[in-house]
Amino acid sequence: MATDIRSIVDEFVNQVVAAVEEESVRRVQAAVVNAFGGLAGTDGRRGRASSAGQGAAAPLRRRPKQLCPVPGCTGVAAPVFGMVCAKHKDMPKAKIKEYRAQRRAAKAGRPSSSSS
């Protein structure tokens, strides 16, 4: 009979310890989230809270790939090549500047003023 009581008490003590540990972990997690503003309030950079604050963060979208400014080229521009594709990396910078001006003018709806 003494072992039955001891086993019942041990089981009860283990349940109480588990409940207290669970509650302690929950409180520590809540304190950390409150101290750091929550994970939803950051925009991926250390120390900077997003304008969304504590609300649900919008999913981050990747920027669209920048294409080579040379007309008719569908290559992806890269900073290592001066923001043109690998095929046009040796093209004169003045010519690339001219292509960019033409593209901006076409985007704005104006005819290009190039004398090529």
| Domain presence at residue 47 | no
CB atoms under 10 Å from CB of 16, counted, come to 10
Please check whether residues 20 and 70 belong to one and the same domain.
no
Residue 104 lies in a domain: yes
pLDDT tens digits, the chain, 116 residues: what are they? 778 888 899 999 999 999 999 999 999 998 888 888 765 555 555 655 555 455 556 778 888 888 899 999 999 998 888 889 999 999 999 999 999 999 899 888 876 555 54
pTM of the model: 0.42
Tell whether 66 and 109 lie within a shared domain. yes
Domain of 77 in residue numbering reads as 62-116
Helices within 2-116 (DSSP H only): 2-36, 93-108
The answer to whether the CB of 42 falls within 8 A of the CB of 50 is yes
* One domain for residues 69 and 37: no
Evaluated on CA atoms 64, 69, 73, 78, the torsion sign reads: negative
Q: Rounded distance, CA 43 to CA 51, Å?
A: 9
